[in-house]
Amino acid sequence: MTNLLLIIITCALINNVVLNQFLGICSFLGVSKQMKASASLGGAVIFVITIASAVASLLYKYILEPFEITYMKTIVFILVIAALVQIVEMFLKKKSPAVYKALGIYLPLITTNCAVLGVALTNVQNEYTFMESVIAGFGTGVGYTIAIVLLAGIRSRINEEDLPAPLRGAPIVMISAALMSIAFMGFSGLAL
């Protein structure tokens, strides 16, 4: 139990997927204009990452390893993720068209969100058990959501400011991300 708790804190805060490992930057910068869309995307990513980690872990253990085709892991994992994203997309389109519209192109792009594939691959690398993989996936998704929601909050304030012209748009967002990253480095001081 302590082990699982450690994994979740490590994945969400200490080794934050966006601010420390630079995975999932596309949507981190692209969607963080609006708080609501950010939170919805965060939710979708948590769901996809958690399920993808579970499925990937099972596939690796019961199909790839017994047949000694572990080198196929990248191909297998990306297909699992693509299928999952398709399901989430169909679900959101039906249940919550507003959120579906707000997320736009970034929803199908969860497939190419490096965070999702990254977690599936690191789980295998760290030789996590099934439960540990699921928890690591969930923790990473939470970390992603924390980062994107925080950035969305900062951006809504930055928009009001009078900035030097060259810094407007992408540069100031990245500087904000840099400051957030510095703040998150503080978590590595947690004595675990």
Partner 1 sequence: MERESGPDPDAGHVPGTGGLHESLQRYRHGSVHTGGPGAFEPGHSLLRKVIPDDVRLPAYIVIVASLVTVTELLIEAYLPSLYEALGIYIPLIVVNCIILGRAEAYANKATPGLAVMDGIGMGLGFTAALTLAGLIREVLGSGTAFGLQVLPKSVEPIAIFVQPPGAFLVFALIIAIMNAIGIKTRQRELVESDGCDGNCAACQIACDHPKIEEKEEEKQ
Among 34, 158, 181, 187, binds partner 1 (CB under 8 A): 181
Among 5, 58, 72, 98, binds partner 1 (CB under 8 A): 72
Question: How many CA atoms does the CB half-sphere of 54 hold within 13 Å?
Answer: 11
Output 5 or 83, the one with its CB closest to partner 1: 83
Among 171, 186, 190, 192, binds partner 1 (CB under 8 A): 171
Output 97 or 169, the one with its CB closest to partner 1: 169
Under a CB-based contact definition with an 8 Å cutoff, are residues 27 and 189 in contact? no
Q: Is 79 in the site for partner 1 (CB under 8 A)?
A: yes
Q: Choose among 140, 127, 126: nearest CA to 52.
A: 140
Among 6, 9, 61, 168, binds partner 1 (CB under 8 A): 168
Rounded to 10 degrees, what is the CA torsion of 165, 18, 178, 13?
140
Output 5 or 186, the one with its CB closest to partner 1: 186
Give the three-class secondary structure for 104: helix
Q: Is 190 in the site for partner 1 (CB under 8 A)?
A: no
Q: Is 177 in the site for partner 1 (CB under 8 A)?
A: yes
Output 96 or 156, the one with its CB closest to partner 1: 156
Can you list the alpha helix ranges (DSSP code H) found in the chain? 2-9, 25-31, 35-59, 73-95, 97-103, 114-125, 130-158, 170-185
CA 48 – CA 110 distance, rounded (Å): 8
Site for partner 1 in 120-139 (CB under 8 A): 121-122, 125
Among 50, 57, 113, 123, binds partner 1 (CB under 8 A): 113
Among 4, 8, 9, 21, binds partner 1 (CB under 8 A): 21
Q: Is 166 in the site for partner 1 (CB under 8 A)?
A: yes
CB atoms within 10 A of CB 186: 10
Q: Choose among 130, 14, 5: nearest CA to 65.
A: 130
Q: Is the dihedral of CA 142, 143, 144, 147 positive or negative?
A: positive
Chain residues in the site for partner 1 (CB under 8 A): 19-26, 29-30, 71-75, 78-79, 82, 108-109, 111-114, 117-118, 121-122, 125, 165-175, 177-179, 181-182, 185
